[in-house]
Amino acid sequence: MDPAQTAPRVLVVGCGGIGGVLLSRLLEGGQRVAAVARREEIAHVLRTRGPVLRDEKGERTIRGDLEVFVQPPREGVYDFILLATPPNGVEAAARDTAHLLAPHGAMVVLQNGLCEELVARIVGEARVIGAIVAWGASSPETGIYERTSSGGIVLGVLSGAPDPRLPLLAQVLRAVCPVTFTDNLRGARWSKLAINCAISTLGTVGGSRVGPLLRHSFVRRLAMEVFTEVFQVARTEGVKLEKVASTVDLAWLTLGESEQRAHGTPSLVIKHAMLLAIGARYRRLRSSMLAAIERGREPPVDFLNGEVVRRGKTHNLPVPVNERLLEAVHAMSRRELTPGVETLRRLYTQTRPQRH
């Protein structure tokens, strides 16, 4: 890729909530965009009407230079391939589009979890950029995209070394949201993984938006226990954890040894207050895993809590809350368990003997 190039060629793979908001804002900013929608229904709507975007600016139909494919094209060259599929589709998306990547281009991994490592096995670590998305999005109807929370994107590479492609990609993505950089992508990813394992999965099992759920003290306690388990595994793997959005120190929200046996200490009161504030900020956020289950699709929980459970077993570290949440989401996908606050309350009760 020519560093002097002002308009990198972009392919968005996946037109769900995140992908749809990305392509909409890129088009609105004047960027030429190609997209792989996978479903003919979505492709048809995007080709004929264009995407409808709902965000802080209101609702509008976006017009622009958009080329939509149902399957990846056989030919073409793209500087950045933005992988916006669910985590359980990221490897197939990378394999199906690897032939379209420019010689010095990069696959941009937007998925939650630790998916950079999966994509690196397919195209090589040098051709992978991590993009940690700190905002939420949904697609309530075909071709309609709603941004459900604010935030930016953090870019980095697995090696942590300077990469001339990062400012070029940032130039593209600033049409969507603020962009920052990290030289510790793994640490930032693990912090985001902790958030997803807690907030997204608790929202799935609880069957509700984040704000209302975090008003319950036992849900906040479960969130802290999830953070604690994730961070214990990360530290064992030698990962130096990063703050989320440069402000929220999730390590501070983990439970110390004395706090794991207590419920009313001054430090715990402050931590509960912090989680209430997080719930207020992301009150409209609804778990994409819950939406996947409702639509009869496989929830990507194996890439979130499942990742923690697998790595915990490797290091002989017990992670009972993550394990129970993993089991609960799979049971929900099999229609053996109904989401709701009472389901979360039972899970909380079931994990008490294992915590004390």
Q: How far apart are the C-alpha atoms of 163 and 156, rounded to whole Å?
A: 8
pLDDT score for 234: 96
In the chain, DSSP assigns E strands to 10-13, 33-36, 52-55, 58-61, 66-69, 78-83, 101-109, 128-133, 137-141, 144-147, 153-156, 179-181
What is the C-alpha separation between 272 and 263, in angstroms, rounded?
Answer: 10
Residue 247: the pLDDT is: 58
Contact indicator for 130, 158 with CB cutoff of 8 Å = yes
Least Cα distance to 68 among 27, 104, 129, 106 occurs for: 27
pLDDT at 355: 47
Query: Average per-residue pLDDT in the chain?
Result: 92
Domain architecture of the chain: domains with CATH: 10-183 (3.40.50.720), 187-355 (1.10.1040.10)
Average pLDDT over residues 99-105: 96
What is the arithmetic mean of pLDDT over 270-295? 84
Can you point out the beta strands (E) in 37-164?
52-55, 58-61, 66-69, 78-83, 101-109, 128-133, 137-141, 144-147, 153-156
pLDDT of residue 356: 43
Summarize pLDDT for 104-138 with one digit per residue, the tens.
Answer: 999 999 999 999 999 999 999 999 999 999 888 98
The mean pLDDT value for 19-26 works out to 97
Q: What is the mean pLDDT of residues 335-341?
A: 95
pLDDT at 288: 81
Residue 266 pLDDT: 85
- The reported pLDDT for the residue numbered 245 is 59
- Give the span between the Cα atoms of 52 and 124, in whole angstroms: 36
The answer to whether 277 touches 215, Cβ cutoff 8 Å, is no
Per-residue model confidence as pLDDT tens digits over 49-99:
999 999 999 999 999 999 999 999 999 999 999 999 999 999 999 999 999
Predicted model pTM: 0.88
Q: Does the pLDDT at position 188 exceed 50?
A: yes
Provide the CA 236 distance to its chain's centre, in angstroms: 23
State the pLDDT confidence band at 4, using cuts at 50, 70 and 90.
very low
Q: Are 158 and 139 in contact (CB under 8 A)?
A: no
Can you give the pLDDT at residue 353?
63
Predicted confidence at residue 6, as pLDDT, reads 66
Average pLDDT over residues 278-283: 76
Average pLDDT over residues 147-172: 94
- For residues 116 and 111, what is the distance between their CA atoms, to the nearest angstrom? 9
Distance CA 155, CA 74 (A): 29
* pLDDT tens-digit readout, 213-272: 999 999 999 999 999 999 999 999 999 888 765 556 778 888 887 787 777 788 898 899
